[in-house]
Amino acid sequence: MQLRLSTISCFLLASSSLMAEDYVSVEYMGYDKESGRTTISTPSIEINKDFGADYTANLSVMHDSVSGATPIYHDSSSGASAKIPEGTIYKNDIEYSDVDYEDERTAVTLSLTKRFESRDELTIGGNYSKEHDYESKEMSVEYLHYLDSSKNQSISIGTSYQKNDVSVYCSLNTDECDSSSGASEKVKTLDVFSAEIGFTQVIDKTSQLKSSLFYINEDGYLSNPYMRVVRDYNRNPKLTQEEKPDSRKAYGALVQYSKALSDRLTTVSSYRFYSDDWEINSHTLNGELYYEFNDKLTTGVGLRYYTQSEAKFYNASADYFTDQTYASSDRRMSSFDSLNYKLSGDYKISSDISINASLNYYDQPDYFSAFYYNLGVKYKF
């Protein structure tokens, strides 16, 4: 009898911990570029609410305020601006240095999960984000199916469609439109289709493996209206807007392994491979280690390594591009490595309230480094 009661109470405890929970999470996140002027501040809120055992709704709202500078080619004689000057440009006036910018972005994400009698899950989500020159709308659908009665194996299939509107301001004097056109902006579109299939396998009571294959198809305006390249540097130098292809097909795979090494020590590690038809291949390795000092305090450390090859149309030099169709000096299209270091802590003030904080250091050697961090409160109700 004692054994039966113990088994039942263990089952109830485990079941309650596996269920989604009702909570409100409020966080302030910040980003500061080292030896630079870029700062981002992002207050955000997330609400998760169960409606009975079969429905869960999740809402999150984030607001980014960005103030800073990004390096691009520009004509120094007309000031540090992304605007392409009219008339002749002289070699000595072409500079690659910081140009100021400011932006604000609000993003709202809503999802609703329905659990069926088999406990399979259907999640429908929507995302909307708005910046002064960019608007994005997204719908997603994901279905999770358990392959066995103990729910130790599951397969998930998801897809999303994203429609983006990019406003290219004519005052920038790009090929899309210039200040003499009489228009203030030209709106370009970008459609993104994503699909992902995932598998989860519980290996034993303390470890599980997740894996997924993903495919992303982008079709439309993929150039950045603020990025510049120099063409014909040696004969008749010109500053033009960068030109990226108007489609991009990418695929990749992710494997993640979680293991509780003891009652207090847990590790989560993952590897992601990515490849696209712009000839960018990337590898991402991530490792995290969490230690529970007691029932209240949990700390974590993390290390992420990222490496990528360069896009086929990338070159950083001022004297490389002439009449190539596609041309970009955007550093993100180059070959580079990066490292991210993370420290985190979570402290439970009571059974309902916890506070969390983390500090991250992101480094692309020889280019830039930045700190980013968060401070948050979570209330379970």
Q: How many whole angstroms separate alpha carbon 44 and alpha carbon 107?
A: 9
Q: How far is the CB of 86 from another protein (least distance, A)?
A: 26
- Site membership for another protein, residue 113 (CB under 8 A): no
Q: Which one of 39, 60, 67, 78 is in contact with another protein (CB under 8 A)?
A: 60
Q: How many whole angstroms separate alpha carbon 303 and alpha carbon 288?
A: 7
Q: How far is the CB of 11 from another protein (least distance, A)?
A: 4
Of 44 and 78, the one with the shorter C-beta distance to another protein is: 44
- Lay out the site mask for another protein across 237-256 (x = CB under 8 A, - = otherwise): -------------x-xxxxx
Of 53 and 147, the one with the shorter C-beta distance to another protein is: 147
- Site membership for another protein, residue 10 (CB under 8 A): yes
Considering only residues 273 through 332, tell me which ones interact with another protein, judged by CB under 8 A.
274, 276, 278, 280, 282, 286, 288, 290, 292, 298, 300, 306, 308, 311, 332
Size of the site for another protein (CB under 8 A): 110
- Site membership for another protein, residue 358 (CB under 8 A): yes
**Which residues touch 160 (CB under 8 Å, ≥6 apart)?**
125, 138, 139, 140, 141, 192, 193, 194
Q: Which one of 72, 177, 216, 327 is in contact with another protein (CB under 8 A)?
A: 216
Which residue carries 């397969």 as its tokens? 155
Compute the Cα dihedral for 35, 40, 41, 44 and give only its sign: negative
Residue 330 CB: number of other CB atoms within 10 A? Answer: 20
Considering only residues 80 through 99, tell me which ones interact with another protein, judged by CB under 8 A.
none
What are the angstrom distances between the C-alpha of 58 and each of 29, 127, 128, 302, 356?
20, 12, 14, 27, 20
Q: How many whole angstroms separate alpha carbon 142 and alpha carbon 214?
A: 13
What are the angstrom distances between the C-alpha of 75 and each of 38, 146, 335, 366?
21, 59, 26, 24
- Site membership for another protein, residue 372 (CB under 8 A): yes
Q: Which one of 24, 62, 122, 343 is in contact with another protein (CB under 8 A)?
A: 62
- Site membership for another protein, residue 364 (CB under 8 A): yes
Of 85 and 209, the one with the shorter C-beta distance to another protein is: 209
Q: How far is the CB of 75 from another protein (least distance, A)?
A: 24
DSSP secondary structure code for residue 196 in this structure: E
DSSP per-residue letters across 146-194: E-STT--EEEEEEEEEEEEEEEEEGGG--SS--GGGS-SEEEEEEEEEE
Q: How many whole angstroms separate alpha carbon 147 and alpha carbon 153?
A: 5
User: Could you tell me the two tokens for 199?
Assistant: 């598998």
Q: How far is the CB of 252 from another protein (least distance, A)?
A: 5
Of 80 and 377, the one with the shorter C-beta distance to another protein is: 377
- Site membership for another protein, residue 14 (CB under 8 A): yes
Helix (H/G/I), strand (E/B), else coil: 318: coil
Q: How many whole angstroms separate alpha carbon 381 and alpha carbon 370?
A: 36
Q: How far is the CB of 94 from another protein (least distance, A)?
A: 24
- Site membership for another protein, residue 338 (CB under 8 A): yes
Q: How far is the CB of 90 from another protein (least distance, A)?
A: 31
Q: Which one of 22, 24, 29, 80 is in contact with another protein (CB under 8 A)?
A: 29
- Site membership for another protein, residue 142 (CB under 8 A): yes
User: Could you tell me the two tokens for 303?
Assistant: 């290390």
- Site membership for another protein, residue 41 (CB under 8 A): no
Q: How many whole angstroms separate alpha carbon 354 and alpha carbon 347?
A: 5
- Piece in contact with another protein (CB under 8 A), picked from 79-87, 92-100, 174-182, 370-378: 370-378
Of 40 and 318, the one with the shorter C-beta distance to another protein is: 40
Of 286 and 329, the one with the shorter C-beta distance to another protein is: 286
Q: Which one of 81, 171, 212, 240 is in contact with another protein (CB under 8 A)?
A: 212
